[in-house]
Structure 1
């Protein structure tokens, strides 16, 4: 059983490969966070990977059809809210095949040391050109929050913001700008890790 104050790690994914079990093993070998993997319609060819993750103690939730990363995140947050009601928050690993356990821990540490603060962590992405810069500009203009130079790969969401996340519509790629804009208007600070 987990300490109820630990953040829950939520990993939305479709069609995982061997890097996902390796990431989970690395997390498990160092920290005892609850891990919730949301299978976003991967199909029968990935059943073995998800069963192996369950055997390591992960909770695996399944969307029978692809609903998108945003809905998968909401599924994971909803489960975490119900099973770990006094957790400090949720660490959403939006790019699980390209992040490191150390980056996840960095977000967890920030979530613990900066209560009620939204935490962004980003990594280099392919195609970071003019479109990415326009998206960064639009995100900051519409929400009031700076966006990591390289995009958001890990998002730390304080537990107090869980209901807001669940109530907002999602884009296929993650939480909508409305979610961030609402938190900005409510006065929640944001920190960008690099």
Structure 2
């Protein structure tokens, strides 16, 4: 296995971790990516190189996601066929846990069931920093709503990645903290397994060294849901206006509901395909349109039944519309993400990416300086 550590303005905790790794797992290659920390941190990275790490450096700060992709690109080329374990530079991961996650990753792949192994902390423990507890709770809720499955620690940077998964991982979007969340949001959709390994919960100095921003980065995690909500709200407004107009003209409720839904659904499909699910919506247009039409028909039938029932009970047209759309919102999101706009590509073979040039998220060649050490191999 290879240990990959992205680092931005690291402290002594990084050097302590590297020394512990050298003692706990001697001969394990360590790739360290300096994400534009600047000259003030040259001594730290020089010391890291003297301990035995291979240090790659971004000229400017580009974000954790970009640093991880740089390291993954290097690992795929320098150590083809080896699993990679990513860890954080702030001292929150112990050498023992890094080795445990790596062993679980190698064992799963050797057993024919490769999986991304996630080192998960007990993030809600009362003694943990309040900032971390609040951020993790919000992130878990946003993740569960967006991904459709639960994970006990969505913010963990300790992850074991089997070699066969590397090409897929390197193709995911995001340059900052959202990169790791995008991986989690899409991995099961694209057919990859995940496993959890309990790890020690470590916070140094109240987690002051963490660069995670609870509000901003949680919003990044839940952005697909936010966009879908905005699209649904706009579609609802259009549908409601058309319903009132068509009902006033015709005096017939069911035909008015159907006509309004056909128009608003067509607009909603175009917006969702081009904006909300743009990272997933790469399948054939006609196939996706057919799936969406089938979903729209089911939701329309449900809508008609609910609207007819509620209005028959004496509820006004507008309140009945609001209640119906609110009830169908979550169902519509999950089905569109998992069925209408889903794609399950076959994982690309590792060999296809081994000799690829190091690239950043926009496809331009990565600018980097390599501080030399000879990569260490496992004996």
TM-score by length of 2: 0.46
**Counterpart position of 2:58:** 63
Picking from 138, 142, 165, the partner of 1:138 is 142
1:80 maps onto 2:50 in alignment: no
1:130 is displaced (CA, Å) by 4.4
> What are the residue-to-residue correspondences of 1:108-123 with 2, within 5 Å?
108-115=102-109, 116-123=114-121
Residues 144, 184 of structure 1: 8 Å contact kept: no
Aligned positions, number:
187
Residues 62, 175 of structure 2: 8 Å contact kept: no
C-alpha change, 1:174 and 1:81, in structure 2 (3 Å) is farther
1:147 is displaced (CA, Å) by 2.2
**Counterpart position of 1:40:** 35
Report SS of the residue matched to 2:62: coil
Picking from 177, 190, 193, the partner of 2:194 is 190
> What are the residue-to-residue correspondences of 1:1-194 with 2, within 5 Å?
7-31=1-25, 32-87=27-82, 89-115=83-109, 116-123=114-121, 124=123, 126=129, 127-149=131-153, 151-173=155-177, 175-194=179-198
Question: More helix per residue: 1 or 2?
Answer: 2
1:108, 1:40 → 2: CA distance? Answer: 24
2:104, 2:174 → 1: CA distance? Answer: 25
Structure 1 unaligned residues grouped into runs of 5+: 1-6
Report SS of the residue matched to 1:148: coil
TM-score by length of 1: 0.86
2:90, 2:135 → 1: CA distance? Answer: 23
Report SS of the residue matched to 1:61: strand
Residues 140, 154 of structure 2: 8 Å contact kept: no
Q: Deviations over 1:150-177 (max 9, x none)?
A: 7313111112111112111125115254
1:55, 1:95 → 2: CA distance? Answer: 17
1:167, 1:107 → 2: CA distance? Answer: 23
C-alpha change, 1:144 and 1:91, in structure 2 (3 Å) is farther
1:52 is displaced (CA, Å) by 1.6
**Counterpart position of 2:323:** none
Higher radius of gyration, 1 or 2? 2
C-alpha change, 1:145 and 1:53, in structure 2 (3 Å) is farther
1:132, 1:28 → 2: CA distance? Answer: 31
Report SS of the residue matched to 1:185: coil
RMSD, matched Cα: 2.0
Question: More strand per residue: 1 or 2?
Answer: 1
Structure 2 unaligned residues grouped into runs of 5+: 199-379
Report SS of the residue matched to 2:60: coil
**Counterpart position of 1:4:** none
Once the two structures are overlaid, the 10-residue window that deviates more, 40-49 or 175-184, is 175-184
C-alpha change, 1:59 and 1:83, in structure 2 (3 Å) is same
